[in-house]
Every structure is written in C-alpha cells, then in structure tokens.
Chain A
C-alpha cells in the first residue's frame, strides 16, 4: 500500500515536471525561432532553414530608421528612468514608513499608471500635450515614459525601504549626523538595490513600450518598437528578426549585469 502511494507520487511529480518542460519549451519557441530566422539567408521565411548568413543583420544595421529609432529608444529609456528616480525615490521614502490612510492612498495613486491600459494613457496624453504645444516630440515621449517610470521606481523603493530597520537612521541621527548626512550615507546606500531594480524595470519597460510611444511617433523622434511595427505591417522578411535579436541582446545584457550585481531572485521578490 505504502509502496503504491509512493509510486503514484513519483508519477504525479513526473507528469507535472514533464508538463512544465513542455510549456516552457513552447514559451521559448517563438523567441528561439526568431533568432534562428535572423541568421537565415533567404528573403522568405521557411523551414527548415537551408543556408545561413548575416545579411539580414547588415540590412537591419544599414536600414536608417532602425538605428535612428534604436538610439532614440536608448536615450528615452535613460531620460525617463532618470526623471522617474528623481521624483519617485523621494516620494517613496516619504510614503514607505507611514501607515496612515493618506499615505496608502497617495502610494496607490503613484502606482496607478501601470494599472491603466497603456493605449489609453498614450492616446489621452497625446491630445493633452498637443493642446499644451508639446505633442509629437522627444519631450512628449519623455513625459509619457516618465509617467510610467515613476510607479516602477516607487514600488521597488517602497518595498526595499520597508524591509530596512528604522533604527539604522535613528542611530545615525543620535550619533550626530545631520538629516542630509543620514540620507547620503545611510538611507541611499541601503535602498540602492531598490533604486537599481526599479530603474532597470522602468528602463526595460520604456525600451519596449509600444502602446505609449505609438501615438508620439514623428519622423524626427520615434522609438524602435514603433518602427518595427510599421515595418512588419508592410514587410515580412528576416530583417525584422535581426533587429529583434539585436534589441533582445541589449535587454539581456542589461539584465545579466543586474543579475550579477543583485541576483534575479531579489528582483522578482521586490514587489
């Protein structure tokens, strides 16, 4: 009897494991295929891939709009994240340790932009900013992406700051440190992982934000996902696979740096 039940447990665990492996394989499949296709030679996508080349990478790099918008996307991710930290971190510090109804409500308000469909945000903000005279421009993109960067930064900083014992700062203050010195030498160093993780989230989200950026696209300032979308609406060739792979490589590189510094587990845990 005992033997039978342990045999069944083995079987159910095994089935669950097999299921998980299959599901994860399906999750990875489209991404792997895009990378495979990006190295193919032909102008059409077909399987199995017969010959290999780097010509689509050459094409993607030579295609002006891809590289131009990639550069805009990088600048935008950095600018929006920096602005998000500048206003999001102080707000998070002020809110994290208060349990009052007011603080809870303000915190919910700061986090709200990520719970609203991005297409609605982008659409409404475009008309609002146009009325103010800064519609389709880098500045408009910057404002829109900062609105979304604030909640990502604030959320991780609040989570990390709450886990830090309050008496650390009290000790510094009792020992005679001024408020600014305490902030500079105690608070900021201990919440650095939160700022870093939130920044990375904000930057990665900004880097791949389509629903928001779409509405602000102009010839002078448009982001890579928007260019990729319009390219793909008209053409179906491996150049799009090549630029996708390049974009992914950048994002993975950023994440690897982060993983080295703080570990993936802490990032996912920092809710």
Chain B
C-alpha cells in the first residue's frame, strides 16, 4: 500500500506547473455542446434517411432523399449552383480584398483605424439592412439607375433588381470584411524587413512581392477563403431578398422547404449535404491553415 504512494503524483507535482483551472471545467461546455450541437446533427442524419420524420418521408426509402438530390436535374442544378456561387464569391473576395488588406497593413499609416472601422461597421448592421441597401441601389428607380440616367450614361433604367448580379454583389459585400481581416492579420505578422531585404538584393518591387510577401501571406488567403466559402453556403438572405428565384442555392431551398412544403426529411438531407461541404472546408482549414481567422 505504502509502496504505491511515491509512484503517485507526489514527485511529479512539484515539477508540474501550477494551474488554476481543473480539467473537469471543460465538462459543462462539452456536455452542453454534445447535447445541443452534436445530438441534433446526428438526429438530422437519422431523419434524412427517413428514420423518424412525419409526413412524406415515410413513403421514401433509405437514402432516397440523397438519390433525388443527385439524380433529379433540378436539385442537381441547385447543388451545382450552390458550389458555383460559393466559389465565385470566394474568388471575388480574394481579388478585391487582398489589395485592400495590403494597403491597410503596409501603406495606410494613420488611416488604418478608419479603414478598420469601415470594414467592421457593416458587420454591426443587420444582413437584412444590407440586403435592403442593395435593393435601394439596384431598384428600377433606385440609386444606381437615377445616377446613370441623370448622368446621361443610360437612356432608360437597367433592371438589376431580381437579377443574379445583385445576389452576387450582396454576398461579396457581406463576406469581404472576413476576407480582408483574415489576410491582414497574417500580413501584419510578416516583417517588412523581409521585403526590404529582397529589394536590397536586387529584386524588383513586383518580384519581391510575388516571391516573398505573397507566399508568406498565403495562409491568410486560405483561411479567409474557407471562412467565406462556408459562410456563403449558410446565407439564404441574399438569394431570398435580392434574387427572386434567379439564384437557387441549397440554403434558399432549405428555407423554402421548411416554409412551404414542410418536407423535413428532404430539408434534412439538403442540410446534411451543406454540412458535408462545411466539413470539407473545416478539414481543409486544419490541413492548410493554422486555425487563424476572425
């Protein structure tokens, strides 16, 4: 019995660093999330294969929902459009956001705070407000048309409301701040001296950027891309309020299934497909990034 004593934590304890927190302190949060985050997702998998859903689901066989999603031309089109929208929005955010992030970190100087404010301010407003703002801009007699017609650039108003363009613009607007903040947080950590060294060694400004700064900041681009990709997949407001069914994505379909047809089993299957897309994003993040991001 006493032989067991020294083997226990006693000698160890002196070496171990002092910790205020006990390991069991993670239990409340972990249990809460298992109960209200993991369990619902598992229940949804069960429901999507026709396990426990009321209504139409009972007539469907196992996996039939998924078969429909892949074989039905309409739903397969939705699946494709979902991915196309997410990819286009992500690429647009990189192209538009990188120069801004670079300017903010390297050139803006004392204006940096103001730029940061302009990026964060939209995040404080409701997505409904931003969608409304774009409708005000794109409406038939809205801001843009008034500007163009009064400016003599157009003879009659162009119809951009309910056009896919307005959905894309609104999505890019909503997600651009996430991209810029992801990139700038990485750029911030790259010492300026590296670029200066490349310049001193004879590289042109563009070469120094291309071979030194860009590769070092690529992690921010990847993190931002994954963030934007996943968030685009969760957004139904832009397509709902600005698209008028001209852009059909999975989140919009889930919203409509829930609202109109109440086919919970099918909506559950679509949710799982979205979930898989998100999980691929998460996996990519752990693979390529180091878990940075806003």
Chain B, residues 267-280, CB within 8 Å of chain A (1/0): the string is 11001101100100
Measured between beta carbons, the chain A residues less than 8 angstroms from B271 are 119-120, 123-124
Contact status of A255 and B120, CB under 8 A, knowing A46-B146, A90-B26, A119-B251: yes
Query: Is B126 engaged at the interface, CB distance under 8 Å to the other chain?
Result: yes
Complex CA–CA separation, A244 to B39 (angstroms): 35
Total number of A-B contacts with CB less than 8 angstroms?
Answer: 279
Q: Which range contains the number of B residues in contact with the other chain?
A: 35 or more
Complex CA–CA separation, A233 to B177 (angstroms): 26
B107 touches A17 (CB 8 A): yes
Describe B's contact surface by its main secondary structure. helix
Complex CA–CA separation, A173 to B17 (angstroms): 11
Measured between beta carbons, the chain B residues less than 8 angstroms from A26 are 173
CB interface residues, B 18-59, toward A, < 8 Å: 18-26, 28-30, 32-33, 36-37, 39-41, 43-44, 47
Measured between beta carbons, the chain A residues less than 8 angstroms from B128 are 210, 225, 228-229, 232, 240, 244
Chain B, residues 105-142, CB within 8 Å of chain A (1/0): the string is 00110000101111111111111111111111101011
Query: Is B218 engaged at the interface, CB distance under 8 Å to the other chain?
Result: no
Complex CA–CA separation, A32 to B42 (angstroms): 43
Contact status of A29 and B22, CB under 8 A, knowing A119-B254, A150-B29, A229-B237: no
Interface centre among B125, B185, B258, B278 (most CB of A within 10 A): B125
The closest CB in chain A to the CB of B45 belongs to A124
Complex CA–CA separation, A34 to B132 (angstroms): 7
Residue pairs across A and B with Cβ atoms less than 8 A apart, 18 shown, are A16-B102, A34-B132, A34-B133, A47-B146, A90-B28, A93-B21, A94-B24, A115-B282, A117-B233, A117-B275, A120-B272, A204-B124, A210-B126, A241-B136, A244-B132, A264-B120, A271-B293, A271-B294
B107 touches A125 (CB 8 A): no
Query: Is A248 engaged at the interface, CB distance under 8 Å to the other chain?
Result: yes
The closest CB in chain B to the CB of A205 belongs to B123
